[in-house]
Chain A
Amino acid sequence: MSHSILMRVEKLCFEYPSVRALDNVCFEVETNSITALVGPNGAGKSTLLRCLAALDTPLSGKVYLDNINVTEHAREAHRNIGYLSDFFGLYEDLTVEQCIAYHAAAHGIKKHDISIQTLRAAQRLDISDRMQQKAKELSRGLRQRLAIAQAIVHEPKLLLLDEPASGLDPEARHSLAILFRELRDQGMTLMVSSHILTELEEYSTHMLMLKAGKIISQDTIGIHNESMCDFRMVLAENYTDLASVFSNIDDVSVIQIDDKQVWLSCSTDVFKQHELLRYLIDKGLPVASFAEEKKDMHETYLSKIQEKKS
């Protein structure tokens, strides 16, 4: 299945006076995806997000958002980008409604649409019951929600979030994950940087790994591939010539075979999965378990880092 590309980054380099923070970074962001931007401290994640948001000017390279050159036409790009910094601030003395309405107006939303868009953003973030509360009176989780409401009030195509869950309790983090999935379902594309891989795993479709300013890996995260997913099948006992059993099955590709285990990729369609399982049992395979294998982001991350080191 082909995906349209929302953002394209070409040979992006960014330097601080004493260090190259981004070194020939190239990648693409699919429309309607959630990309987890991961990497160790100082890898260049925040710098990359700031370059994508056209807040910092790279030394060289290009960033295109829907064919708009972000660096050259920053103002145009800003209409389609929402950005939330890791150290975001709020206008503490304004009410929630005023904060969102201000950002709506600042993003050029027409006067008669401001109140509608303000309410819509508040409802999406589930803070519409606190419209008259001042920002300084909100809890950490609610402040985060207000900041995101401000960032999405103009319905950007791309939402960039730098460490959005830092400082939040597990419950707030979980509800943030639900929110990101909802935003994606509503058509938005997200890029989220975080250290907390388990949290990213809850909602990300892609993972972009950055180390020392370089992209070391860009993967899709299996469970979110729309047509295929990974499975692990465990057998009760050894089966000779296991590979030949799978060689004639359509829409199934074997990833790895051990003595009593097979990792394979097959359709997400549950009826096709059922047919596959029945076929294997009919063939006499002693199937003990057949379960979806989630690609563990943490393991992937560590293995990639190790791979890079070696």
Chain B
Amino acid sequence: MISNPEFRRNIWIEMSIHRLISMPLMLSILLLLAYLTNGSELNQGVAYGAQFVALVLTMLWGANMASEAVLVEVREHTWDSQRMSAMPAWSLMWGKLLGSTIYTWYGTFFCVLVYLFTSELTALMTIKSAVLIIASGLLAQALAMLLALMFIRKEDKFVRSPSILFVLFAASTAWSFFSLAMHLEATLKWYTLSFDSINFGLISILLFLAWAWLANYRLMRAELQMNNYIWIWLSFVVFLMVYVAGFFYEIPWKPYVNLSSSLLVAFVVATFSTYLMLFSEAKDPVNYKRLLALLTEKHWHALQGSLQCWMGALALAILSGLIFSIEMMSEGMQPMLMIAFLLFISRDICIVLYLNFNTNRKRADMTAVFYLFVLYVVFPAIFSSIDISTGLFFPDDNKAWVSVGAALAECTFAFWLMRRRWLRYYS
């Protein structure tokens, strides 16, 4: 008997006799079609057909089910009773993730069987490809559920399900790993190492799958009112910095060819993570109030559990930016450009928080995106249209000092605005 109550509940809902019969019937028809269109032979064409159906089942249908497994609980007002259960976060997470998608895995099982029997690749490659199909599906589903959990932490009331967006993002991410790995004959370089695409893709997918599961687990913990410390998130960002930088290790960064491109890429990854989380996380002023109270009362342990992910990523961005600056200086260059970058990032954060500290926070993030678009795209476009390169709104290599001055002034002004609003409403 299955001991996970959430998994069992999903089986009760998903695995009716009618559905158990209809899935193999439908798949038989689809695979028969693949067989007939491939000259009535059980060849690689049929294997690809089975692979395609398996990917559709897991990456699209399965991802949608995984995302909805969370969203529907909130929408149908059953989430509170789950949050009040005694189920450990891990059980609730995997029970939901695998339980809600069980029916798609039931269908995928038949597809993978057909793939294994009809593939004309070598035995090892066939098995690797089959594992890749399963791992890609699991990754898409884990990402879809992760996005849903992030969403409900930000928006506790919603009418329209944003599931389709989550599925598209999750499926395209998993697909990019899958397609990278399926260049069967290709090799790729990561730092100084060479890998077969399929091996690298498979290892990458499994690593990101582990991170996605861990992230789901941690968000589920947060939903169950358990503390999460920021170290796991910091570890992930460092992993991402190291992982992505590996692809740019030997690519020179013009004009500073002697500088490490990897270090710059690591900075970009940390900055990207900062913005991603800044817009993804709920910026509830009450939480910041609590955070400030913990800070002033020097409750360091509790503080670690209350820090937001964007704050951790920002710390890493600053750290990697400073290391990069030191390297610039060791090469006899001015680090002004990097300082300008960091100041512009700080300005943007102040703008986002300023808008979120309003009493009406509806669409605050969208408004922030609009303002940042104006600052980074519209204003520079206007100035460049009259042939003026200013460096006022984006770090300009040729006017590094101007950029630093402008960034400092803008950052100070944005901080003043944010602080004023904070003091007005929340102090």
Min CB distance B337 to A, Å, is: 37
| Segment at the B interface, from A74-82, A116-124, A191-199, A279-287 | A74-82
B77 within 8 A of A: yes
A111 within 8 Å of B (CB atoms): yes
Complexed CA–CA distance, A85 and B359 (Å): 27
Please name all residues of chain B whose beta carbon is closer than 8 Å to the beta carbon of A79 when the two chains form the complex: 86
- Indicate if the CB atoms of B86 and A18 lie closer than 8 Å: no
Across-interface contacts of B5 in A (CB, < 8 A): 102, 105-106
Does residue B76 face the partner (Cβ distance < 8 Å to A)?
yes
Closest to B356 in A: A17
Given A18-B359, A108-B86, residue A59 in contact with residue B12 (CB < 8 A): no
B1 within 8 A of A: yes
- CB–CB B3/A111 < 8 A: yes
A107 in contact with B86 given A88-B77, A102-B8 (CB within 8 Å):
yes
Stretch binding the partner chain, chosen from A50-58, A216-224, A253-261: A50-58
| B85 interfacial by beta-carbon distance below 8 Å | yes
Enumerate chain B residues within 8 angstroms of A57, measured Cβ to Cβ.
225, 290
Q: Report A275 CB to chain B, min CB distance, Å.
A: 51
With A81-B84, A83-B80, A151-B81 known, 9 other A-B pairs at CB within 8 A are A17-B285, A18-B359, A74-B225, A75-B224, A85-B77, A92-B76, A94-B12, A102-B8, A106-B5
Contact present for A55 and B80 (CB under 8 Å)? yes
For the complex formed, measure the closest distance between the CB of A16 and the CB atoms of chain B, giving whole angstroms. Answer: 7
Inter-chain contact count A-B, CB under 8 Å? 87
B9 touching A75, Cβ below 8 Å: no
Closest to A93 in B: B13
**Closest B residue by C-beta to A70:** B225
Contact with A along B1-43 (1 / 0, CB 8 A): 1010110110011000000000000000000000000000000
Are A78 and B84 in contact, CB atoms less than 8 angstroms apart?
A: yes
- Name the interface size band of chain B: 20 to 34
Q: State the majority secondary structure of interface residues on A.
A: loop
Residue in A closest to B16 when the chains form the complex, CB atoms = A93
Q: A55, A87, A108: which contacts B225 (Cβ < 8 A)?
A: A55
Chain A residue with Cβ nearest B74: A89
- A91, A92, A94, A103: the one contacting B85 at CB < 8 Å is A103
9 A-B pairs (CB sep. < 8 Å): A17-B285, A53-B80, A55-B225, A75-B225, A78-B85, A79-B86, A98-B9, A106-B82, A106-B85
A107 touching B85, Cβ below 8 Å: yes
A302 contacts the other chain (Cβ, under 8 Å)? no
A150 interfacial contact with B, CB 8 Å: yes
Of chain B, the residue at the smallest CB distance from A90 is B78
Confirm or deny: A15 has a beta carbon within 8 angstroms of a beta carbon on chain B: yes
A87 to B3, CA, bound (A): 29
| Contact assessment for B78 and A17 in the assembled complex, using a CB-CB cutoff below 8 Å | no
Instruction: Report the Cα distance A81→B225, complex, angstroms.
Output: 15
Contacts of A102 in B (CB 8 A): 5, 8-9
* Beta-carbon contact of B84 and A53 below 8 Å: yes
Nearest CB on A from B74, distance (A): 9
CA distance A81 to B13 in the complex (A): 27
Contacts of A54 in B (CB 8 A): 84, 225
Asked whether A89 lies within 8 Å of B77 as measured between CB atoms, the reply is yes
- Find the A residue at minimum CB distance from B92: A106
Given A75-B226, A90-B78, A55:B9 Cβ within 8 A: no
Q: B13: which A residues are within 8 A, CB to CB? A: 91, 93-94
Complex: A60 Cα to B84 Cα, angstroms: 21
Q: How far is the CB of B385 from chain A (nearest CB, A)?
A: 40
Residue B289 lies at the interface, judged by CB distance under 8 Å to chain A: yes
Contact status B290-A59, CB under 8 Å: yes
Q: For residue B289, which residue of chain A has the nearest CB?
A: A59
Assuming the contacts A59-B289, A83-B80, A111-B1, asked whether A18 and B224 have C-beta atoms less than 8 A apart, the reply is no
Residues of B near A94 (CB, < 8 A) are 9, 12-13
Enumerate the 6 nearest inter-chain pairs by beta-carbon distance, A residue then B residue, closest first: A89-B77, A105-B5, A74-B225, A106-B85, A108-B86, A18-B359
A55 B84 Cβ-Cβ under 8 A: yes
Contact: B226 with A74, CB < 8 Å? yes
Chain A residues with CB under 8 A of B81:
83, 88-89, 103, 150-151
Query: Which residue of B is nearest A16, CB measured?
Result: B286
Q: Which of B119-172 contact A (CB under 8 A)?
A: none
For A28-56 the 0/1 string (1 means CB < 8 A from B) is: 00000000000000000000000001110
- A54 CA / B3 CA spacing, docked (Å): 26
Does A105 contact B76, Cβ atoms closer than 8 Å? Answer: no
CB distance from B161 to the nearest CB of A (A): 15
State the Cβ distance, A266 to closest chain B Cβ, in Å.
44
Q: Would you call A89 and B78 a contact (CB within 8 A)?
A: yes
Which residue of chain B has its CB nearest to the CB of A87? B77
Residue of A nearest to B3 (CB): A111
Task: Digitize B283-318: 1 where CB-to-A-CB distance is under 8 Å, 0 elsewhere.
Answer: 011100110010000000000000000000000000
Q: What does the 1/0 interface line of B64-84 toward A look like (CB < 8 Å)?
A: 000000000000111011111
Bound CA–CA A60/B297 (angstroms): 13
Residues of B within 8 A of A93 (CB): 13
Q: Which of B9, B285, B360, B425 has the most CB of A within 10 A?
A: B9
CB A143 to nearest CB in B, in angstroms, measures 12
Of the listed residues A18, A54, A60, A151, the one surrounded by the most CB atoms of chain B closer than 10 A to its CB is A18
The reply to whether the CB of B374 lies closer than 8 angstroms to some CB of chain A is no
